[in-house]
Amino acid sequence: MNLIADKISEKLDVRVFVDKETASKEAASAIAQLIKTKNSKGEKTVLGLATGSTPLQLYAELIRLHKEEGLSFKNVITFNLDEYYPMSPQSEHSYVHFMKENLFNHIDIEMENVNIPDGTISKEEVNDYCASYEKKISEAGGIDLQLLGIGRTGHIGFNEPDSDWNTLTRIVTLDPLTRKDAAKGFGGIDNVPTEAITMGVGSILKSKKIIMMAWGEGKASIVNEMINGIVTDQVPATYLQLHQNVAVYLDREASTAL
């Protein structure tokens, strides 16, 4: 599997691979095995999904496993971490569009089992909507496996610095650095929404298993803080140290500060 090192940290299960392609395939294999095990028992698999560039190759591998090896997603329920607000699902910038283009349109998942925060909900209704999103996760049996990336602010989902460990799905204001990092895709920072709906840190920590992925030297510093720093609301990813079942998948470059 081209695993370079593991157990770098006593706090988290850290796995360093030669490159992000290898790491992505290994993470996809873990997801596939979970789905197969659940399918064999006639059970649903509940996945928490992430967007952005980090999981792209993982999703490509899941598509390959479906098309070439018959991995079925008919018994899979998904909950995405977040969505920009406001945001039309028809927009090319929406995470609905992202997930369809990069995963859902290419596998046999039932679209009624797909859940992505609604960026069109009114401000008056958003709190009730967020509570209903949490309720739907709970009614599905909770998330079996949550995928995460990490932002340069240390955010997981869109839980920016100052997010408490027990926060649930809610509307948040995006950090300027997060908006700056998204600016290219939106054709300029002025076009990047200032808010988002996100599952909370507490929502994420309820997951039975978490796979955190990070690629590239640009993530090395914040990855080191996440793994070896003190648990603090200024780096929300450090809250993962409180979870009992987190696997951190890194490429060589993302591990250079450890």
Q: What positions carry a catalytic annotation?
A: 82, 155, 160
How crowded is residue 106: how many other Cβ atoms within 10 Å of its Cβ? 16
The answer to whether 108 and 76 have CB atoms below 8 angstroms apart is no
Q: How far apart are CA 92 and CA 97, in angstroms?
A: 6
Q: How far apart are CA 6 and CA 16, in angstroms?
A: 6
